């Protein structure tokens, strides 16, 4: 810090020190205002200009130094100067003080904070440059936003001083008027009867109503700004209350909710009803995993007192069973079911023409244009295909296409490469290895399943390796080659290249939201990896929502359904109340064997976020039912607040871990701790007892040792 900054910092600290050392805060109380009102009025009548200037200077000092008492001084201005003069004095003094505080923060702190948090500030500065005045104005309108905090925050940005001054002046004016007016009424309190006067009650009602009114005003200006270019095409009447784009989990639930509340809703799907989960993801993969697990158990029959046997099977029959499972579930998501529920289902490609109009190119030919009050975008995601040289020539499948391609094969792929070490890659690698493929799994990171704790990753790799998967972590794919009919993947590791021949290659390196083709670009709706939405799942257009994979932040079917409730309810009833999407308790499971299930924090995330925690573990090898089933592997790991039974997160590794996790999801969602789980009766012998025993481990570690010592002495005394 240079000498000039040091001098300014010392002066500011000295001013604050004087305030507290001399206890000047005693003058900033309602009692002092009442007691000194008459003397203040007498001095003011004699020297109005000097008194006004002195009050102005004091107000500037209090606000510039971010001292407590600005609200009391505002009431005092109303009591001493009246509504008009009090408003003028406070309005300019508060704005000047705020600007000085902002400049001080900028001069003293911005460089050091920029050096440490430069990248984060760059994003904030971009937002400020784009609509900084409106952002500041909205915050100034809301009295609950701390005055000093806002000055400090804006001082760290690149907002212009003049812009900061006039926007603050305008933004604080409404609150200033209300507070000054309340001060004029407080000054008149002289009895219990005057407390109940209409004028005073009205002033406090204004103080309470102001935040609500401000919110409505902000909504009005935001709507006006974002819809300005479309004002001339806004329909006077609408064909639908809601149009939903995409019939995956998010779209189906949104349409279902709209139909239940008797809204007129149209659901548009370009391809298959049920979306990715039914047709390409959750359902077919779990059907494959079940067949693979049975094959694995047959190979290891001796573990159950039977004979090991090599399962004989037709790979075509396995793939046909998968399609049969899909067909059995299809009626749940069918056009017929949703039509019966009152949803109009159109099969075709939807394009949003303007915020209230959707044009549908029908699969059967022709187009249909509909106007609507609200839109929910639930277009889902697609597999990410890396830009790998030679990949197209060599050929590949994704988690979407492998079901149709592999259904044409007579035998399981002999040599299979799986690109990707996330949940999808691990599930497919293990399943095909158990069915007889020679599987090589390639992951660029140093371990599998990076979002899980290291011990979970290690256990997953050990399990996959035991099933015959060659797991290559820290290997980066470079290119594919085809020579004399032989397909080869070239990877690099520790500076050396490795060549892996394959018959089939599965790309399972992640999924990306579907963001093109339905009008987001023309409407100017911002997208990054997903559609940008606020906490209510609204895009920049308050009547256009997004839910599911296209909205993020989780690519999970149950999260899409969860978001769909918020999107649909907000879209249909948002003028009365908007609900913030709640992501506080999100469970997920990776369906390898043993399964890996998690909700809330794991150790890795808790450490990254500097959240204090305790760990309680219970090993599945101690559970009676797991031993009886030959599944005595894995563990339950619970993170709790230190010294308390409040659950921060749970990781379960073991058979049916996804099912076992449900008890913890319920507990976290409703604020139940481990003591409640411990006191709940669990059927014996079941896997669910693992949850109770984990709670018992926590209880044992938190025994009241001193109390138990006294209890021991009591029993000793009882024995004589």
**How high is the mean pLDDT in each 10-residue block of the chain (720 residues)?**
63 63 58 65 78 83 73 75 83 82 72 53 56 57 57 69 74 73 64 48 54 63 81 93 96 97 96 93 96 96 94 95 96 95 96 96 95 96 95 95 95 97 97 98 97 96 97 97 95 95 96 92 91 94 95 93 97 93 95 97 95 97 96 97 96 98 97 97 97 96 88 89
Residue 271: which H helix or E strand, with range? none
Residue 587: which H helix or E strand, with range? strand 587-590
Which neighbouring-strand residues pair with 600? 649
Two structure tokens written together for 273: 């009803």
CA of residue 79 relative to chain centroid, distance: 47
C-alpha dihedral, 68 to 70 to 72 to 74, nearest 10°? 180
**What whole-number distance in Å separates Cα of residue 590 and Cα of residue 426?**
8
Two structure tokens written together for 10: 């010392």
**What whole-number distance in Å separates Cα of residue 573 and Cα of residue 579?**
10
| Angle, vertex CA 374, rays to CA 371 and CA 379, nearest 5 | 100
CA of residue 658 relative to chain centroid, distance: 21
683 φ/ψ sector (left φ>0, alpha ψ -120 to 50, else beta): beta
Assign 498 to helix, strand or coil: strand
Assign 596 to helix, strand or coil: strand
Helix 37-46, helix 48-64: angle, nearest 10: 120
Which neighbouring-strand residues pair with 544? 375
537 φ/ψ sector (left φ>0, alpha ψ -120 to 50, else beta): left
Closest C-alpha among 670, 666, 664 to residue 695: 664
From residue 697, give the alpha-carbon distance in Å to each of 479, 604, 662, 700.
Answer: 50, 22, 19, 5
- Give the chain's domains with CATH numbers: 3-225 (no CATH), 240-382+513-573 (3.50.50.60), 391-510 (3.50.50.60), 594-705 (3.30.390.30)
Tell me how long the chain is: 720
The secondary structure of the chain in percent helix, strand, coil, rounded to multiples of 5, reads 55, 15, 30
Q: What is the DSSP string of 96-125?
A: HHHHHHHHHHHHHHHHHHHHHHHHHHHHHH
CA of residue 76 relative to chain centroid, distance: 44
Closest C-alpha among 307, 480, 316 to residue 388: 480
**What whole-number distance in Å separates Cα of residue 655 and Cα of residue 645?**
25
**What whole-number distance in Å separates Cα of residue 587 and Cα of residue 662?**
8
Q: What is the pLDDT of residue 226?
A: 85
C-alpha dihedral, 404 to 409 to 413 to 417, nearest 10°? -30
Assign 651 to helix, strand or coil: strand
Pairing of strands 496-502, 486-493: antiparallel
DSSP-derived letter for residue 312 is P
CB atoms within 10 A of CB 516: 10
Is the dihedral angle over the CA atoms 528, 534, 537, 539 positive or is it negative? negative
Encode 461-499: b = buried (16+ Cβ within 10 Å), e = exposed: bebbeebebebbbebebeebbeeeeebbbbbeeeeeeee
CB 614 within 8 A of CB 699: no
**What whole-number distance in Å separates Cα of residue 122 and Cα of residue 117?**
9
Residue 347: which H helix or E strand, with range? strand 344-354
CB 267 within 8 A of CB 248: no
Contacts of 304 (CB under 8 A, 6+ apart): 297, 630
Contacts of 46 (CB under 8 A, 6+ apart): none
Residue 37: which H helix or E strand, with range? helix 37-46
Burial of 27 (0-12, 13-18, 19+ CB in 10 A): middle
Main-chain dihedrals φ then ψ at residue 106, nearest 5 degrees = -65, -45
């Amino acid at each position: 810090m240079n000498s000039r900054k040091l001098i300014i910092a010392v002066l500011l600290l000295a001013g604050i020190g004087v305030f507290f050392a001399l206890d000047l805060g005693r003058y900033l109380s309602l009692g002092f205002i009442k007691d000194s009102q008459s003397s203040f009025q007498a001095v003011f009548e004699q020297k109005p200009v000097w008194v006004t200037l002195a009050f102005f200077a004091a107000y500037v000092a209090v606000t510039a130094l971010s001292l407590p008492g600005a609200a009391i001084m505002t009431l005092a201005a109303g009591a001493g100067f009246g509504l008009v003069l009090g408003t003028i004095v406070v309005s300019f003094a508060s704005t000047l003080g705020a600007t000085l505080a902002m400049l001080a923060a900028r001069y003293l702190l911005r460089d050091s904070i920029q050096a440490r948090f430069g990248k984060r500030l760059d994003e904030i500065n971009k937002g400020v440059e784009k609509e900084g005045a409106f952002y500041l104005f909205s915050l100034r309108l809301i009295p609950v936003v701390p005055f000093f905090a806002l000055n400090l925050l804006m001082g760290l940005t690149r907002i212009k001083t003049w812009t900061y001054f006039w926007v603050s002046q305008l933004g604080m004016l409404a609150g200033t008027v209300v507070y000054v007016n309340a001060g004029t009424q407080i000054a008149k309190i002289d009895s219990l009867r005057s407390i109940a006067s209409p004028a005073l009650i009205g002033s406090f009602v204004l103080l309470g109503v102001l935040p609500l009114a401000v919110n409505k005003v902000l909504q009005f200006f935001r709507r006006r700004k974002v819809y300005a270019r479309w004002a001339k095409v806004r329909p006077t009447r609408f064909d639908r209350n809601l149009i939903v784009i995409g019939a995956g989990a998010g779209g189906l639930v949104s349409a279902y909710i709209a139909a239940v509340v008797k809204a007129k809703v149209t659901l548009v799907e370009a391809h298959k009803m049920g979306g990715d989960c039914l047709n390409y993801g959750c359902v077919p993969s779990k059907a494959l995993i079940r067949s693979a697990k049975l094959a694995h158990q047959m190979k290891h029959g001796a573990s159950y007192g039977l004979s090991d046997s090599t399962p004989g099977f037709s790979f075509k029959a396995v793939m046909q069973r998968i399609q049969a499972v899909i067909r059995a579930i299809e009626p749940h998501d069918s056009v017929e079911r949703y039509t019966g529920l009152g949803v109009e289902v159109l099969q075709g490609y939807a394009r949003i023409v303007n915020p209230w109009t959707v044009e549908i190119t029908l699969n059967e030919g022709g187009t249909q244009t509909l106007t609507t009050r609200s839109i929910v975008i639930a277009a889902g995601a697609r597999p990410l295909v890396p830009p790998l040289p030679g990949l197209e020539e060599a050929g590949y499948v994704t988690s979407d296409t492998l079901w149709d391609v592999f259904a044409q094969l007579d035998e399981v792929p002999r040599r299979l490469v799986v690109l990707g070490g996330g949940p999808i890659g691990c599930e497919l690698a293990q399943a095909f290895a158990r069915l007889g493929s020679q599987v090589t799994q390639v992951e660029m990171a140093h371990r599998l399943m990076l979002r899980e704790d290291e011990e979970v990753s290690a256990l997953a790799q050990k399990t996959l390796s035991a099933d015959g998967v060659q797991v290559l972590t820290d290997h980066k794919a470079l290119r594919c080659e085809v020579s004399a009919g032989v397909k080869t993947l070239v990877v690099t590791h520790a500076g050396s290249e490795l060549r892996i021949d394959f018959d089939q290659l599965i790309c399972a390196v992640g999924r990306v939201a579907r963001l093109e083709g339905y009008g987001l670009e023309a409407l100017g709706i911002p997208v990054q990896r997903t559609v940008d939405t606020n906490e209510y799942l609204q895009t920049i257009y308050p009547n256009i929502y997004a839910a599911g994979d296209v909205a993020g932040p989780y690519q999970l079917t149950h999260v899409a359904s969860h978001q769909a409730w918020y999107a649909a309810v907000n879209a249909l009833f948002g003028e009365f109340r908007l609900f913030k999407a709640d992501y506080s308790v999100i469970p997920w499971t990776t369906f390898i064997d043993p399964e890996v299930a998690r909700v809330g924090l794991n150790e890795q995330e808790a450490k990254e976020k500097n959240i204090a925690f305790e760990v309680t573990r219970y090993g599945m090898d101690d559970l009676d039912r797991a031993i009886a089933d030959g599944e005595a592997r894995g563990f339950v790991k619970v993170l709790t607040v230190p010294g308390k039974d409040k659950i921060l997160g749970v990781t379960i590794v073991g058979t049916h871990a996804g099912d076992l996790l449900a008890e913890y999801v319920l507990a976290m969602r409703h604020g139940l701790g481990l003591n409640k789980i411990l006191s709940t009766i669990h059927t014996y012998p079941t896997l669910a007892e693992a949850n109770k025993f984990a709670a018992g481990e926590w209880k044992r570690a938190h025994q009241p040792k001193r109390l138990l010592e006294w209890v021991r002495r009591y029993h000793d005394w009882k024995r004589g």
